[in-house]
Copies of this chain bind each other. A is one copy, B any other.
Amino acid sequence: MFKSASSVERLANRLARLPGIGRKSANRLAFHILKLTKEEAFELADTIREVKDKVGFCTVCNNISETDPCQICTDPKRTKNIICVVEETPDAAAIDKAESFNGMFHILGGKLSPLDGIGPDDLKISELLARIHDGDITEIILATNPNVEGEATALYLSGLLKPLGLKVSRIARGLPVGSDLEYADSATLSRALEGRQEF
């Protein structure tokens, strides 16, 4: 594409390997980075280096963190005996942002996906069981994604956890707030009806 500047071409190739960035977006981004001031571009480059240098994973909950254990695991204001199990860090971040949950998290690092060769041993499930074994956990909220693989993962986990005498719950699936019943898909509508609650 940018024959006249092979380093821009290389940057575009590098960016195109990131998820959700197609060839054209990568070219556009590379060109924009070229137009940034030197300070801005170097700041971006340095932040990328910093992220890899500083950030690791919390050995308790598997969340990304610059400290170990992470800020959430060590926060004295959070309830220690409820664990919300999610697939990835951004899921935990989204739940935390909603400010309706003040317990602990556990990040599985993925979801069961036999087609991609991802089985229970590839997720942080034994670590979750160890946390339950060691601590005073009363409830596990399964907050994997509401799609086929997320549901399968939740089902598998509930099978493992229920015999331990814990309260095991699944986040509600239903109509998103602000959405339109007319345009909802049937699967969501079925779930919304099944999960109806009394006033």
Contact = CB atoms under 8 A, between A and B. Distances in A.
A96 interface: yes
Given A38-B52, A49-B41, A4 B72 contact: yes
Contacts of A30: 51
A66 interface: yes
A66 B3 contact: no
Interface string A98-118: 000000000000000000000
B64 A2 contact: yes
Contacts of A21: 29
A47 B19 CA distance: 18
Interface string A48-63: 1111101100100001
Nearest to A94: B1
A188 to B, nearest CB: 21
A18 B32 contact: yes
A28 B38 contact: no
Interface of A: 1-8, 10-11, 14-15, 18-21, 25, 27-34, 36, 38, 41-52, 54-55, 58, 63-67, 70-72, 88-90, 93, 96-97
Minimum-distance CB pairs A-B, first 10: A45-B48, A45-B45, A41-B52, A4-B70, A4-B65, A11-B47, A5-B55, A45-B49, A7-B50, A1-B93
